[in-house]
Amino acid sequence: MAEIHPTAMVDADARLADGVVVGPYCVVESDVALGEGTELRPHVVIRRHTTLGEGNLVDSFCVLGGLPQDLKFDPAAVSHLRIGDGNVFREAVTISRATTPGGATTVGNKTYWMTQSHAGHDATIGDGAIITNNASIAGHVVIGPRAILSANVLVHQFTWVGEMVMTRGHSAAGMHVPPYMLLAKVNYLAGLNAVGLRRAPDISQEDRKQIKEAFRITYRAGLNAQQALEKLDEWADMGVAAAKFREFIRKVVTAEPPYDRGLCGYRPERKRD
């Protein structure tokens, strides 16, 4: 059975699995489901229509499933926040439920959220993503699996950040960021996330070679995005990893409003003496 501290307020309609721990002064509203082994540390608030899977750790002063920060939202509308398994939410993380009636803000599995990070309504956060201190994800953003948002990074609404993207602190994206890239400054790529690619156990040396070539075609061959996609489509033996890059480019090229934001640019860094 669940362990609930006497000072916590848990609605009678909340569904708590075995092994759930609800700490002092927590608030768990109606229509909340907490999976087995999930722990809420002191002063956590879980708003209604929120689901957490198994083995999640929610640290003090987090608010999960709060109302969307959208002036058009009707508070009576039913929308959701759905969170998977094995996630860690450190102090004061906030994630809003969806603004679309019946829709959901979605967090995958084994993500890690550092202090005061935020995700807005209707966002989708992929497995293994790391959201560091004060990073802010706007509404309708998609963060790919294993992406890392460094401190104070901003992602504009309706923007896609691809798989295994690495961002530098204080950078920002209002245009789409392809997989495996290193984002720096505002809407500029500094190159590939070379360190992350080397460390990834599922990315082979051949994969890295193909990703580098796909990046060259897209950003260093003097082609626009449509032309680069046509060139990438001529590649007969492209592996799975590089194909993810190609399909991201296709998605951007064919995007309709309000997702037609284009690709981040490439600005090579000067070599220091």
Query: What are the residue ranges spanned by the domains of the chain?
Result: 3-140, 198-260
- Would you name the residues annotated as active-site residues? 121-122, 139
pLDDT of the residue at 267: 82
Per-residue confidence band for 3, with pLDDT thresholds at 50, 70 and 90:
very high
Cβ atoms of 6 and 25 closer than 8 Å: no
Angstrom distance (rounded) from CA 132 to CA 212:
27
Global confidence as pTM = 0.95
> Is pLDDT of 270 > 70?
no
Cβ atoms of 166 and 143 closer than 8 Å: no
Torsion sign over Cα 184, 158, 153, 59: negative
Instruction: State the average pLDDT for the chain.
Output: 96
Domain spanning 3-140, CATH class: mainly beta
Instruction: Compute the C-alpha angle 73/78/83, nearest 5°.
Output: 100
**71-93 exposure pattern, b = at least 16 Cβ within 10 A, e = fewer:** eebeeebebbbbbbbbbbbbbbb
Cβ atoms of 156 and 133 closer than 8 Å: no
Per-residue confidence band for 272, with pLDDT thresholds at 50, 70 and 90:
low
pLDDT of the residue at 273: 43
Torsion sign over Cα 31, 37, 38, 41: positive
Residue range 207-229: mean pLDDT, rounded = 97
Per-residue confidence band for 271, with pLDDT thresholds at 50, 70 and 90:
low
Domain spanning 198-260, CATH class: mainly alpha
CA 263 to chain centroid, in Å, comes to 18
